[in-house]
Amino acid sequence: PTIRELLGSGDRSFSFEFFPPKTPEAEEVLWRSIREIEQLRPTFVSITYGAGGTTRDGTIRVTERVAQDTSLTPLGHLTCVAHSRDELRSVIGAYAGAGVRNVLALRGDPPGGPTKPWVAHPEGLNHAIELVELVRELGDFCVGVAAFPDKHPEASDLDFDARMLAAKAKAGADYAITQMFFGADDYFQLVDRAAAYGCDIPILPGVMPVTNIKQIKRMAELTGMALPTAVTDRLHAVEEDPAAVRAAGIEIASELCDRLLEGGAPGIHFITLNRSTATRQVYLNLQGTTV
Ligand code: FAD
């Protein structure tokens, strides 16, 4: 099924994001996690698209295996980074050949990370909206896009960013998934701002439980944004005790998911970092059970 159809069913959507592994050991961890997540019968699972050549092949390979060997619906991410238009066409063709009809159309970040200036490939695309159009042109795909409750680092203001999201929806995006964030109100304000520009596609909030102190810095590098002190204070208060940090991270994420769902979010997209235990625990907290 397409994610458009799944989101249209009226049921809350629960999805889980993985990245393509770089070593045989990481591959094993990934598949163990995917099998555990499969038991929860999520709406879909997504596989990120990396900056380097090897992980790019890995994205297609993992997505294809999910499509063929599991009962899960895969969503393949795709970015414009370092690709010509022709290369993008061939990756989209590879997704179609692998039986993958759900694609998340992203611009991507420059190789140095989200704080570096964006440079398009000379024969490539400059913005995700062009990739939405390209994927749409090439066949019967269901297309998702990114959204940013805390504002994209390059956007001049929140309103501009919401206008760009509305433009992506108008160009054919069926739904959006947000960058990870911690303030439920920031998510609801994004939904309202986008609606003011006529954008009524489902916007799935992206949630990642922080399970160790090192991740605080890593997440700021990945998203280009610092974590709010309300979150870091709770984690630092127990930093001598790794189990307590983990428990606090799971609790913070569970509270956020509760507020989002109570406020009408259409579901939750969990960022797993390929380890299933923390996100599974948050998911089960929402259902009132434990791992
Ligand atoms: P765009 O929509 O092109 O937006 C980029 C910036 O340009 C924004 O500031 C926007 O406001 C502005 N803008 C947009 N359209 C226009 C326009 N027409 N004219 C002028 N300005 C415009 N990165 C990866 O490398 N691999 C992944 O797998 C990956 N998965 C992600 C999944 C999710 C759910 C999210 C939220 C992000 C993901 N990213 C991934 C990161 C993402 O690629 C970066 O955040 C990137 O900087 C922005 O991508 P975008 O698709 O939002 O780009």
Lowest mean pLDDT among 104-113, 165-174, 281-290: 281-290
pLDDT digits (tens, 9 = 90+) for 240-261: 999 999 999 999 999 999 999 9
What gap in Å lies between CA 112 and CA 220, rounded to an integer? 14
As separate numbers, helices (DSSP H) first and strands (DSSP E) second, the chain gives 11, 8
Contact residues for 7 (Cβ-Cβ < 8 A; gap 6+): 13, 43, 174, 175, 202, 266, 267
Predicted ipTM > 0.90:
yes
Closest protein CA for atom 47 of ligand 1: 109
Which pLDDT score, from 0 to 100, does residue 112 have? 83
What gap in Å lies between CA 252 and CA 181, rounded to an integer? 11
Confidence class for position 73, pLDDT limits 50, 70, 90: very high
CB 183 within 8 A of CB 230: no
Which pLDDT score, from 0 to 100, does residue 114 have? 85
CB 190 within 8 A of CB 162: yes
Which pLDDT score, from 0 to 100, does residue 162 have? 98
Among 164, 190, 225, the mutation site with the greatest number of ligand 1 atoms within 8 A of its Cβ is 164
Among 80, 127, 157, the mutation site with the greatest number of ligand 1 atoms within 8 A of its Cβ is 127
Going from the Cα of 105 to the center of ligand 1, the distance in angstroms, rounded, reads 9
Residues having CB within 6 Å of any atom of ligand 1: 48-49, 51, 77, 79, 106-109, 114, 127-129, 146, 152, 154-155, 160-161, 164, 177-179, 206
**Chain-centroid distance, C-alpha 260:** 16
Confidence class for position 52, pLDDT limits 50, 70, 90: low
Which pLDDT score, from 0 to 100, does residue 16 have? 98
pLDDT digits (tens, 9 = 90+) for 180-222: 999 999 999 999 999 999 999 999 999 999 999 999 888 888 8
- Mean pLDDT, the chain, rounded, equals 95
Alpha-helix residue ranges (DSSP H) falling in the chain: 3-8, 24-38, 53-69, 85-97, 128-138, 158-170, 184-196, 214-223, 229-236, 242-262, 277-287
pLDDT digits (tens, 9 = 90+) for 117-143: 999 999 999 999 999 999 999 999 999
Which pLDDT score, from 0 to 100, does residue 187 have? 98
Which pLDDT score, from 0 to 100, does residue 212 have? 93
Region 168-185: mean pLDDT is: 97
Closest protein CA for atom 43 of ligand 1: 108
- Report the catalytic residues: 17
State the DSSP H helix or E strand holding residue 274, giving kind and residue range, or none if neither: none
Contact residues for 38 (Cβ-Cβ < 8 A; gap 6+): 70, 71, 72
Going from the Cα of 162 to the center of ligand 1, the distance in angstroms, rounded, reads 12
Confidence class for position 223, pLDDT limits 50, 70, 90: confident
What gap in Å lies between CA 265 and CA 288, rounded to an integer? 18
Contact residues for 137 (Cβ-Cβ < 8 A; gap 6+): none
Which pLDDT score, from 0 to 100, does residue 102 have? 98
pLDDT higher than 80, residue 289: no
Percent of residues in the chain assigned helix, strand, coil, to nearest 5: 45, 15, 40
Q: For helices 158-170 and 128-138, give the axis angle rounded to 10 degrees.
A: 10
Confidence class for position 291, pLDDT limits 50, 70, 90: low
Residues 52-88: b if buried by 16+ CB within 10 A, e if exposed: eeebbebbbebbbebbeeeebbbbbbbbbbbbeeeeb
